[in-house]
Amino acid sequence: MYQTTLVPTGAGDAALDAVDDATEITAADGTVHVLGVVEEIPMYDRSGKPEKFDDDDPERRERLEAAVDRVATAVADAGIDSETAVESGVPAHEIAAYADAVDADAVVMGKRGLDAAADDLLGSTTERVIRTADATVVSVPVSG
């Protein structure tokens, strides 16, 4: 059993698939940290409508905070204490840094499947965290 577990989440539901695994490996007197990261996307990397990536977009942050709250509620429903945080930056870097800051024993994250070409070219946030975090990283396939 781990004392301190980190479950990172985006605005989607991938982390909800990881909650059962996270609560299963966290000691009853342990803590699950739920982290949301508002991704900072450089202008040259952006695509789509410019307003979609507005750094001052309060709706984007609100969606992320709501996702963090959903995951924290699922952790509470499992009877385990949780702490929440929302950071800004590059997700994989922020997740690894947060895991270090709270001395996480494990990071449990949902992994959405990319098509083979995108996965080969870009990798995934989960794969980047596996390569950079000092803690054990558990990758949970996203259902559906």
Q: What is the pLDDT of residue 42?
A: 55
pLDDT at 123: 61
pTM summary value = 0.83
89: left (phi over 0), alpha (psi -120 to 50) or beta: left
- Give the closest residue to 136 by CA, choosing from 22, 45, 13: 22
CA-CA-CA-CA dihedral for 69, 40, 106, 104, to nearest 10: -90
- Let me know: does 37 contact 88? Beta carbons within 8 Å: yes
Asked whether the beta carbons of 15 and 72 are under 8 A apart, the reply is no
pLDDT for the residue numbered 117: 47
Could you give all domains of the chain from N- to C-terminal order, each with its CATH number? 1-126 (3.40.50.620)
User: Rounded to an integer, what distance in angstroms lies between the CA atom of residue 106 and that of residue 99?
Assistant: 8
Question: Which parts of the chain register pLDDT below 50?
Answer: 43-47, 49, 51-54, 116-118, 121-122
Beta partners for residue 107, in sequence order: 6, 137
